[in-house]
Amino acid sequence: MIDKNQETQRLVSANRILAREKVVDAFGHVSIRSPQNSGQYIMSRSRSPALVEFSDLMEFTMDGEAIDLQGRTTYGERMIHGGIYEARPEINAVVHNHCLAVLPFSLTGTPLKPAIHVAAVIGEEIPVWDIRDHFGETDMLVRTMEQARQMTTAMGSSSCLLMRGHGAVIAGRNLKEAVMIAVYLQVNAAVQTEAMKMGEPVYLSAGEIKLLTETQFSALAMDRAWEHFCTRAGVETN
Amino acid sequence: MIDKNQETQRLVSANRILAREKVVDAFGHVSIRSPQNSGQYIMSRSRSPALVEFSDLMEFTMDGEAIDLQGRTTYGERMIHGGIYEARPEINAVVHNHCLAVLPFSLTGTPLKPAIHVAAVIGEEIPVWDIRDHFGETDMLVRTMEQARQMTTAMGSSSCLLMRGHGAVIAGRNLKEAVMIAVYLQVNAAVQTEAMKMGEPVYLSAGEIKLLTETQFSALAMDRAWEHFCTRAGVETN
Amino acid sequence: MIDKNQETQRLVSANRILAREKVVDAFGHVSIRSPQNSGQYIMSRSRSPALVEFSDLMEFTMDGEAIDLQGRTTYGERMIHGGIYEARPEINAVVHNHCLAVLPFSLTGTPLKPAIHVAAVIGEEIPVWDIRDHFGETDMLVRTMEQARQMTTAMGSSSCLLMRGHGAVIAGRNLKEAVMIAVYLQVNAAVQTEAMKMGEPVYLSAGEIKLLTETQFSALAMDRAWEHFCTRAGVETN
Amino acid sequence: MIDKNQETQRLVSANRILAREKVVDAFGHVSIRSPQNSGQYIMSRSRSPALVEFSDLMEFTMDGEAIDLQGRTTYGERMIHGGIYEARPEINAVVHNHCLAVLPFSLTGTPLKPAIHVAAVIGEEIPVWDIRDHFGETDMLVRTMEQARQMTTAMGSSSCLLMRGHGAVIAGRNLKEAVMIAVYLQVNAAVQTEAMKMGEPVYLSAGEIKLLTETQFSALAMDRAWEHFCTRAGVETN
């Protein structure tokens, strides 16, 4: 049974927030590294994030084996999460989604780059990964640890990765940061899309990205945003 | 009187879902092949899908004759449904709509093609049919079985057909599949529209479409999406 | 006092519908020719259409004089309505709005033309009128009968007129038709805008427009749409 | 303690309105010059505008010092407000936001200019200010009075200023005017963005801007809009 603490309760909130902000639809998922056991992660059973409740949470080994399956259906792409937690000890929360504003970038090779200050947290470089380049024709889902590891390698130390024709992966040091990145990834994508039609946008400089990321991840900004997101999603601020 | 069973109750849900997901507005309709009689189909009386209740359902012969009219008004384009059921025994659910994201493709001949993995179910090729090519200047509605049969021929074995300046027809092996296709047809259209402004999008390959369609039509994906859609539409998951 | 009958109650509904469908925002207005006196028209006092109640309705002479002012504030542009009723006896309802999808056409001279079948009712030709061409630099509001008459002349027998940098005027034989035209004017504008970015859209032919207008204005289509609009706007279907 | 009067209660309403109209999201803020002391200004503690309540209001000196901090967290960019109030005695309300429709203009140097009549109030010229030009690489926030003064100089006597990759600043003679300008700044941006894709838009002339601004700031227009905005935001019209 999953321990009911601030981290796991926030994971339920994060599901609802990502749904409310249209970062996920029927598909997509979010996980945290287990606070009790850094070699495991926690995510919902296979369910639309908009509907996830505490009792839906399950624990998994890095390889995606359920600790206590209880006959439940699990997300087919949970390996994405294990692959990242395994390789990147600093990462404690992962989001996978298919949000609309981001997808055109994954299809055309147009670099998605931080242009607006609240989106500096998406990071200077966002690689695009195409499963077909490495595994040929598949159903495009990351189903095996081998695929997840290949994807994680392509992601490097980035906060975000785009998957061609599929969506995005977002990795955060903690859950609130992962949610913040996921939300503003799509905001930046929408603004950049329109700006590129007008001319060549000025992007944030490397120095601005560094300084802005500190600002955006400060308690001042994070607390304000988390209260805002929780209220909009109809969950208690936790 | 229409038998109240899972299939017919789902047909009411499908009406509400398609309205909630903006696949239909005041116009558009959805039907199923009758579970009791494969030579008949069931759809609502003429009413906005957002408002359809169980008591609105009616049964029709393949030729569009109401089994028990009771003085009710019927959809003027119900022939679309009969034409497809008559010619394609594998099809058990049909949606007709005018959704905004799809219409520009019907007007310009720009091929609408699956680019995002959840939309593989729309199929590799989506023909565009222009009633004017075959029947001259009309009010563009498919009003006769002759028109419906011509349209069905143009559709071939595709899941989707675009009608110039009018909308789309979606055919599914069952109702949930037809709803899934109709929802992701417009999502793919919106993403492809923006992607084409950035450059030449990479589309799904034939092999990917085949494998992805199996995945997307699996119980895992269908159940998750159906619960999501039903909850958003405010109907019981059935 | 305004007589409470189906026509006047529908006028309240029309205000709410146009607000719900984003045809109007804080500004814009809708009127009907008085059912009791064809030389007068009825519209709300100056108030956002979203908030209009029966008690807000007022009656005006063709010249825009309130029959019974009671100290209320009136719409500054009510002359638009009088100008049209005065010149066009077949018109019994008028909408004036600033809807976003339509405005770019008013700014660029790009012809807004019916491309989708539900929008045939907007008519084959939609003139663009620039108050500056006739009255020099003004606050762009149609404030005098002289301006209204000039505008009505430019409109001719069209159902719609665009005003440069300002909005649209819609004239209908009855209120339901005016609402239908106003709603689908913006839908057509949005679809045409995207289609033009893909290529040269196929527009409806003159013959199609004629036949489709009859279909769209039939009781079958009008009743379905009116029930749909009323329910969405939270008013009784009347 | 903040005096509860019409001005301060309207400030709470303005927070909710700007959130409802998507002018602000988790970030952004609005202030008024103190009605009791023209050398001070009033704004919320650091909180998402959607959630601001009366008890969140705080008073600041022109230099951004809280009169009565009570341990509360304050907006990091409150200097924007002090900088403007200090230099422009005619200004009594300031909005700072990051609204999406406006950002592309800040990134590309494309002039944002009033094209639609309700947006004349944004003013003939809207400067774009880049903090990097004056202060090098920063976290892009206006954190010091020196930065705020430089920004205010760049703004001149304009109603609006765009900040590169960041957002906008709006200054009004009173709170209702500032809200009106902020709302229609984004409406004009959205319309202009689409119009520019069709061709060269006709913009408002200098004479029209002057006359329209008087009209839009008249009691007739302001009262109608304020009631509309308050009702949509779920606050009492005050």
- Write out pLDDT tens, residues B183-198: 999 999 999 999 999 9
List of chain A residues whose C-beta atoms are within 8 Å of the C-beta of residue D164: 202
Cα gap D127→D106, rounded to integer Å:
9
Chain B adjacent subunits, 3+ CB pairs under 8 A = A, C
Residues 6 or more apart whose CB falls under 8 angstroms from that of D55 comprise: none
Q: Pick the catalytic residue: B7, B77, B86, B177?
A: B77
> Which pLDDT does position B86 carry in this prediction?
98
- Write out pLDDT tens, residues A153-169: 999 999 999 999 999 99
Mind telling me how many Å the CA of C26 is from chain D's nearest CA?
Answer: 5
Cβ–Cβ gap A137/B228 under 8 Å = no
From residue B147, how far is each of A39, A93, D225 by CA, in Å?
63, 55, 50
Using CA coordinates, name the residue in chain D closest to A180.
Answer: D26
Cβ–Cβ gap A139/B208 under 8 Å = yes
Cα A11 versus chain centre, distance: 12
Phi/psi of residue C30, nearest 5 degrees: -140, 145
Find which of D137, D141, D143 to mutate to test the A interface (most A CBs within 10 Å of its CB): D137
- Is any Cβ of chain C less than 8 angstroms from the Cβ of D121? no
Q: Would you name the residues of C annotated as active-site residues?
A: 77
- Is any Cβ of chain A less than 8 angstroms from the Cβ of D48? yes
- Is any Cβ of chain D less than 8 angstroms from the Cβ of A222? no
From residue B122, how far is each of B118, B158, B160, B195, C154 by CA, in Å?
9, 8, 6, 18, 46
Mind telling me how many Å the CA of A16 is from chain B's nearest CA?
Answer: 12
Between positions 138 and 177 of B, the ones with CB within 8 A of C are 138-141, 164-166
CB atoms within 10 A of CB A118: 25
Residue ranges with strand state E in chain D: 29-33, 40-44, 57-61, 93-97, 128-129, 160-163, 167-172
Using CA coordinates, name the residue in chain D closest to A120.
Answer: D139
Tokens of C92: 């019994």
Tokens of C142: 């149609």
- Write out pLDDT tens, residues A91-101: 999 999 999 99
Find which of A107, A135, A193 to mutate to test the B interface (most B CBs within 10 Å of its CB): A107
Tokens of B129: 């049919």
Starting at the edge strand that comes first in sequence, how are the strands of the sheet with C160-163 ordered? C57-61, C40-44, C29-33, C93-97, C167-172, C160-163, C128-129
Q: Which residues does chain B have with pLDDT short of 70?
A: none
pTM above 0.90, yes or no: yes
Mind telling me how many Å the CA of D169 is from chain A's nearest CA?
Answer: 15
Cβ–Cβ gap A194/D196 under 8 Å = no
Q: How many CB pairs under 8 A join A and D?
A: 97
- Write out pLDDT tens, residues D120-178: 999 999 999 999 999 999 999 999 999 999 999 999 999 999 999 999 999 999 999 99
- Is any Cβ of chain C less than 8 angstroms from the Cβ of D215? yes
Cα gap A144→D161, rounded to integer Å:
51
> Which pLDDT does position B21 carry in this prediction?
98
Cβ–Cβ gap A48/B198 under 8 Å = no
Q: Which residue has the tokens 């494969």?
A: B38
What is the average per-residue pLDDT within D6-26?
Answer: 97
- Is any Cβ of chain B less than 8 angstroms from the Cβ of A81? no
B95 close to B178: Cβ distance less than 8 angstroms: yes
Mind telling me how many Å the CA of A50 is from chain B's nearest CA?
Answer: 7
- Write out pLDDT tens, residues A16-57: 999 999 999 999 999 999 999 999 999 999 999 999 999 999
Residues 6 or more apart whose CB falls under 8 angstroms from that of B98 comprise: B24, B25, B27, B28, B166, B167, B168, C116, C117, C118
Cα gap B102→B25, rounded to integer Å:
14
Q: How confident is the model at residue D65 (pLDDT cuts 50, 70, 90)?
A: very high
- Write out pLDDT tens, residues D183-231: 999 999 999 999 999 999 999 999 999 999 999 999 999 999 999 999 9
Cβ–Cβ gap B224/A47 under 8 Å = yes
Cα gap C111→C114, rounded to integer Å:
10
Q: Pick the catalytic residue: D77, D86, D90, D236?
A: D77
Mind telling me how many Å the CA of C165 is from chain D's nearest CA?
Answer: 4
Using CA coordinates, name the residue in chain A closest to B223.
Answer: A47
Smallest Cβ–Cβ distance between D229 and the set C26, C47, C109 belongs to C26
Q: How confident is the model at residue C35 (pLDDT cuts 50, 70, 90)?
A: very high
Res. D238: pLDDT tops 90:
no
Cβ–Cβ gap B215/A50 under 8 Å = no
- Write out pLDDT tens, residues C76-111: 999 999 999 999 999 999 999 999 999 999 999 999
> Which pLDDT does position A238 carry in this prediction?
87
- Write out pLDDT tens, residues A199-232: 999 999 999 999 999 999 999 999 999 999 999 9
| Of D237, D219, D217, D218, the residue nearest D228 (C-alpha) | D237
Is D77 catalytic? The answer is yes
- Write out pLDDT tens, residues A52-92: 999 999 999 999 999 999 999 999 999 999 999 999 999 99
Residue ranges with strand state E in chain A: 29-33, 40-44, 57-61, 93-97, 128-129, 160-163, 167-172
C78 close to C60: Cβ distance less than 8 angstroms: yes
Coil, helix or strand at residue A225: helix
- On average, the pLDDT of chain C sits at 97
Q: Residue A169 corresponds to which amino acid?
A: V
> Which pLDDT does position C238 carry in this prediction?
87
With 0-12 CB in 10 A as exposed, 13-18 as middle and 19+ as buried, what is C15?
buried
B98 close to B109: Cβ distance less than 8 angstroms: no
From residue B29, how far is each of A195, B74, C155, D8 by CA, in Å?
38, 11, 36, 51
- DSSP at B122: G
D22 close to D186: Cβ distance less than 8 angstroms: yes
D165 close to D98: Cβ distance less than 8 angstroms: no
Smallest Cβ–Cβ distance between A195 and the set D46, D51, D104 belongs to D104
List of chain B residues whose C-beta atoms are within 8 Å of the C-beta of residue A166: 116-117
Cβ–Cβ gap B208/A107 under 8 Å = no
Please give the angle made by the CA atoms of D196, D199 and D200, to the nearest 5 degrees: 80
Residues 6 or more apart whose CB falls under 8 angstroms from that of D230 comprise: D13, D17, D236, D237, D238
Mind telling me how many Å the CA of C85 is from chain D's nearest CA?
Answer: 25
Find which of A27, A47, A103 to mutate to test the B interface (most B CBs within 10 Å of its CB): A103
> Which pLDDT does position A123 carry in this prediction?
98
